[in-house]
Amino acid sequence: MSFLIQWLVEALQWCFNMLLALPLHLWVLLLGGLQAAVNAIPVPSFFASASNYVAAIPPSVAYFAAGFQIPYGLGVVISAWVLRWILRRIPFIG
**Model confidence pLDDT, tens digit, residues 23-67:** 889 999 999 999 999 899 888 887 778 778 888 889 888 888 888
User: How far is the C-alpha of 28 from the C-alpha of 31, rounded, in Å?
Assistant: 5
Alpha-carbon Rg of the chain, whole angstroms? 25
How many structural domains is the chain composed of?
A: 2
pTM of the model as a whole: 0.43
Count the Cβ atoms, other than its own, within 10 Å of residue 53: 9
> Is 62 found in the same domain as 90?
yes
Q: For residue 53, give Cα distances in angstroms to 42, 58, 83, 93.
A: 21, 11, 28, 40
Identify whether residues 33 and 63 lie together within a single domain: no
Which structural domain, as residue segments, surrounds residue 82?
Answer: 58-94
Mean pLDDT, rounded, for 8-21:
89
Q: Is residue 51 part of a domain?
A: no
